[in-house]
């Protein structure tokens, strides 16, 4: 995890770095730090425990001059979150400073070897070992910084995105990556360069970016084109890409939190996701991935969906959608399990990877494995140009814009939107869905954004209900069919941001065990909309009520039956059952948001979490 940012140019680096760190804070916020180098070759490091704001406060009044700098926001892996373990780390001589996102797996053995050579270590981190190794390599082989980094990295096992500055190279910033993301921003005439873990810190300054690939090292010097080589010392040319997203999309836009903004963004973002893909006059879907790879996709013998967390929940719904419309068997797996269990994969398999960030380490590893074994890889990703987007042979971006709140909201509905379009279009091509049903569902899908707006009209009511349940210690979420994965997602949202224990179950499973937990203290959130299992879910509500559980029901508007059973009702508009998750998840997102707010929690940056899980 962690976020890194770097700058070399003619401006003062500190404000640029600080601003960049704030944009990357979703990647971790255990500590933050910055290293600055000025033309008098003075190298200074400032660090603070906790969020970037602490670094800002702590470093004020110090010498912050320098037009070259690197900075880091940390999500602790090796060593507790404290100043000593915060990045940047110095080499022994304090000549070189490094920031690092990733994990050096063989750091213990390198550390032992360096200790034998007389090196001492201040921190408990794997990163300090890397900077010492670079200094050692530079001295032992009498190398310049670039070849020393290149050589040192050949000894390293693990993942890294690093940025390095060196007092003895005052016009140079070096960066490298393997399995952790790294984007390079290039200004006109090579006057300035920016590096960062994603494009959000760069876009204010330049739209021209280069995505550095695995095992590549880049040397940046003002006025020169970037020098990029791989670990085998081969020179690499990359095309410059233009990033298109708008700066307003990553600001709060008047909302108190990114999470709330992103919940409210969903109607617009879903329209963005469908734009150019759905012809509203003909009620037809055109996905370029499906057009370009039609034979491979319609002839798939099996589809395997991979993802983690919320993206895995979207995958569970993808299975139901694809099996219903396209009649291709689908398996859904946690990427972290798939990658270590020697899965059986054939060349007729299509593997769909779902990932908001496109950088989740487990999903990347699982995909690489599936690709090696001949599966065709399809990505459903939000972050443009991310690692998963590039590993995939084809795919469909969800186009919901940068998601900053750590708890995923608009990415989930964006993933569902793409999965629904994909399943419908695939079913249509395979002739496994009736024409009329296809056109009807496409039309219904285009109306989802308006229907979500209607749910927002009940925000006050949801806020009131949230107050009743704020101090519960546990929650159960129940749903059936298409709403079972929504129950899982609702429970995950609550756990993540309010730290209340919550579990999701298929409603009918409750009587096989979890019902023992029900008493007057237990809130049970039931998604009980009017679909083919409505009557069954009503019976499940009665079973809970009979044991004095406190029901909060998500119902279809106009429902009177459930209204007689509980006063805690949130109504959602009627939609076909296959599209319901796009609607029923919205009140659950708002409920968890308000419960967390009532408890005074930091909803955008909940404890122990990071937005992009780039470590396994
Ligand atoms: C939950 C959440 C996580 C992510 C998971 C996968 O709100 O955000 O569970 O869904 O870490 O991340 P991506 O989708 O980036 O692969």
Note the pLDDT of residue 472.
Answer: 93
* Unique residue bearing structure tokens 């000593």: 84
What distance in angstroms lies between residue 587's CA and the mean position of ligand 1's atoms? 19
Q: What is the mean pLDDT of the chain?
A: 93
By C-alpha distance, which of 62, 76, 81 is closest to 1?
Answer: 76
The 10s digit of each residue's pLDDT in 331-388 is: 999 999 998 999 999 999 999 999 999 999 999 999 999 999 999 999 999 987 788 9
Stretch 526-544: mean pLDDT: 91
Residue nearest to atom 10 of ligand 1 (CA): 310
Task: Give, to the nearest 10 degrees, the angle between helix 126-140 and helix 145-153.
Answer: 120
Q: What is the mean pLDDT of residues 423-433?
A: 98
List of residues 6+ apart from 469 with CB closer than 8 A: 475, 523, 550, 552, 591, 595
For the cut 80, the answer to whether the pLDDT of residue 410 exceeds it is: yes
pLDDT for the residue numbered 248:
65
The pLDDT-based confidence of 224 (bands split at 50, 70, 90) is very high
Q: How does pLDDT run across 7-31, given as a tens digit for each residue? A: 999 999 999 999 999 988 877 788 9
Q: How far apart are CA 392 and CA 433, in angstroms?
A: 27
Task: Give the neighbor-by-neighbor strand order of the sheet with 89-90.
Answer: 89-90, 96-104, 158-166, 173-178, 216-220, 227-230
What one-character DSSP code corresponds to residue 482?
A: G
For residue 250, pLDDT over 70 is answered with no
Q: Is the CB of 496 under 6 A from ligand 1?
A: yes
pLDDT band for 532, please (50, 70, 90 cuts). Answer: confident
pLDDT(555) > 90? yes
Residue 514 confidence (pLDDT) above 90: no
Does residue 247 have a pLDDT over 70?
no
Q: Look at 176-190, 240-254, 534-548 and tell me which has the smallest mean pLDDT.
A: 240-254
Residue, of 531 and 298, whose pLDDT is higher: 298
**456: pLDDT strictly greater than 90:** yes
Question: Which of 420, 417, 395 shows the shortest CA–CA distance to 320?
Answer: 420
- Ligand 1: centre distance to CA 281 (Å): 35
Structure tokens at 181: 């993301």
Chain mean position to CA 217: 25
Placement of tokens 């690692």 in the chain: 387
Q: What pLDDT, in 10s, does the model give residues 307-321? A: 999 999 999 999 999
Q: How far apart are CA 79 and CA 308, in angstroms?
A: 25
Q: Is 273 a residue of the active site?
A: no
pLDDT of residue 615 exceeding 80, the answer is no
pLDDT grade, residue 79 (50/70/90)?
Answer: confident
Distance 411 CA to ligand 1 centre (A): 9
- Using an 8 Å Cβ cutoff, are 112 and 142 in contact? no
Confidence tier at 610 by pLDDT (50, 70, 90): confident
Distance of CA 313 from the midpoint of ligand 1 (Å): 10
Alpha carbons 190 and 490: distance in angstroms, whole number:
48
Residue 87 pLDDT greater than 70, yes or no: yes
pLDDT at 208: 94
pLDDT(192) > 70:
yes
Show Cβ contacts of residue 354 under 8 Å, excluding neighbours closer than 6 positions.
Answer: 305, 306, 307, 311, 312, 314, 315, 318, 363, 380, 381, 415, 419
Look at residue 611 and tell me whether its pLDDT is greater than 80: no
pLDDT band at 259 (very low <50, low <70, confident <90, very high): very high
Whether the Cβ atoms of residue 44 and residue 67 lie closer than 8 Å to each other: no
- Does 578 score more than 80 pLDDT? yes
Mean pLDDT of 189-213: 92
Q: What is the pLDDT of residues 271-284, one digit of tens each?
A: 999 998 999 999 99
159 or 221, which is more confident = 221
Q: Does 581 have pLDDT greater than 90?
A: yes
Q: How many CB atoms are located within 10 Å of the residue 443 CB?
A: 12
Task: Determine the atom of ligand 1 nearest the C-alpha atom of 407.
Answer: 7
Q: Known catalytic residue: 2?
A: yes
Return the structure tokens found at 545. Answer: 């009520």
Task: Determine the Cα angle at 256 with ends 251 and 261, to 5°.
Answer: 55
The answer to whether residues 233 and 223 touch, using CB atoms and an 8 Å cutoff, is no
Pocket-testing residue among 609, 613, 614, ligand 1, by greatest number of atoms within 8 A of Cβ = 613
What percent of the chain shows pLDDT beyond 70? 99
Quickly state the pLDDT bin for 184 (edges 50, 70, 90): very high
503: phi then psi, degrees, rounded to nearest 5? -130, 140
Element (H, E) at 555: strand 550-556
Is the predicted pLDDT of residue 110 greater than 70, yes or no? yes
Instruction: Decide whether any atom of ligand 1 lies within 6 Å of the 38 Cβ.
Output: no
Task: Please state the atom number of ligand 1 nearest to the C-alpha of residue 611.
Answer: 8
pLDDT of residue 181 exceeding 90: no
Q: How confident is the model over 491-514, as a mean pLDDT?
A: 94
């Amino acid at each position: 995890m962690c976020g890194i940012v770097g700058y070399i140019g003619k401006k003062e680096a500190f404000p640029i770095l600080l601003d960049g760190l704030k944009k990357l804070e979703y990647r971790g916020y255990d500590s933050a730090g910055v290293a600055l180098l000025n033309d008098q070759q003075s190298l200074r490091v400032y660090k603070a425990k906790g969020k970037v704001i602490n670094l800002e406060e702590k470093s004020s009044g110090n010498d912050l001059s320098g037009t070259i700098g690197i900075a880091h926001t940390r999500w602790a892996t090796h060593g507790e979150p404290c100043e000593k373990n915060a990045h940047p780390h110095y080499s022994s001589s304090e000549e070189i400073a490094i920031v690092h996102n990733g994990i050096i797996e063989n750091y213990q053995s390198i550390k032992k070897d360096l200790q034998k050579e007389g090196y001492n270590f201040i921190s408990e981190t794997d990163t300090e070992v890397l900077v010492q190794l670079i200094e050692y390599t530079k001295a032992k082989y009498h190398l310049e910084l670039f070849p020393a980094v290149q050589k040192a990295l050949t000894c390293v096992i693990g993942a890294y995105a690093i940025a390095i500055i060196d007092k003895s190279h005052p016009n140079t910033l070096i960066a490298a990556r393997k399995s952790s993301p790294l984007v390079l921003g290039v200004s006109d005439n090579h006057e300035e360069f920016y590096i960062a873990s994603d494009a959000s810190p760069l876009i204010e300054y330049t739209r021209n970016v280069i995505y550095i690939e695995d095992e590549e090292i880049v040397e940046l010097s003002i006025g020169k084109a970037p020098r990029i080589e791989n670990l085998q010392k081969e020179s690499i040319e990359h095309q410059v890409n233009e990033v298109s997203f708008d700066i307003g999309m990553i600001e709060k836009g008047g909302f108190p939190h990114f999470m709330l903004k992103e919940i409210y963004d969903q109607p617009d973002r879903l329209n963005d996701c469908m734009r150019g893909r759905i012809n509203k006059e003909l009620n037809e879907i055109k996905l370029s991935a499906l057009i370009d790879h039609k034979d491979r996709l319609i002839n798939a013998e099996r589809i395997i969906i991979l993802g983690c967390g919320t993206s895995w929940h979207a995958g569970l719904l993808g299975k139901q959608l694809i099996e219903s419309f396209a009649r291709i068997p689908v398996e859904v797996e946690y990427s972290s399990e798939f990658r270590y269990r020697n899965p059986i994969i054939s060349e007729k398999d299509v593997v769909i990877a779902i990932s908001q960030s496109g950088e989740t380490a487990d999903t990347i590893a699982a995909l690489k494995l599936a690709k090696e074994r001949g599966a065709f890889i399809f990505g459903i990703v939000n972050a443009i140009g991310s690692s998963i987007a590039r590993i995939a042979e084809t795919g469909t971006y969800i186009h919901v814009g940068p998601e900053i709140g750590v708890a995923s909201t608009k990415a989930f509905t964006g993933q569902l939107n793409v999965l629904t379009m994909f399943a419908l279009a695939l079913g249509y091509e395979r002739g496994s869905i009736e024409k009329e049903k296809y056109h009807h569902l496409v039309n219904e899908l285009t109306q989802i954004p308006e229907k979500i707006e209607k749910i927002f009209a009940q925000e006050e009511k949801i806020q009131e209900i949230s107050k009743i349940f704020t101090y519960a210690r546990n929650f159960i979420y129940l749903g059936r069919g298409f709403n079972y994965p929504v129950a899982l997602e609702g429970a995950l949202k609550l756990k993540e941001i309010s730290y209340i224990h919550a579990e999701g179950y298929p409603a009918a499973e409750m009587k096989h065990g979890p019902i023992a937990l029900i008493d007057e203290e237990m809130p049970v959130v039931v998604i009980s909309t009017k679909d083919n299992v409505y009557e069954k879910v009503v019976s499940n509500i009665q079973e809970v009520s009979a044991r004095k559980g406190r029901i909060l029901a998500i119902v279809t508007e106009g429902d009177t039956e459930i209204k007689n059973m509980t006063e805690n009702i949130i109504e959602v508009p009627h939609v076909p059952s296959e599209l319901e998750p796009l609607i029923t998840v919205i009140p659950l997102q708002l409920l968890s948001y308000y419960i967390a707010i009532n408890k005074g929690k930091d909803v955008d940056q909940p404890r122990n979490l990071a937005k992009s899980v780039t470590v396994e």
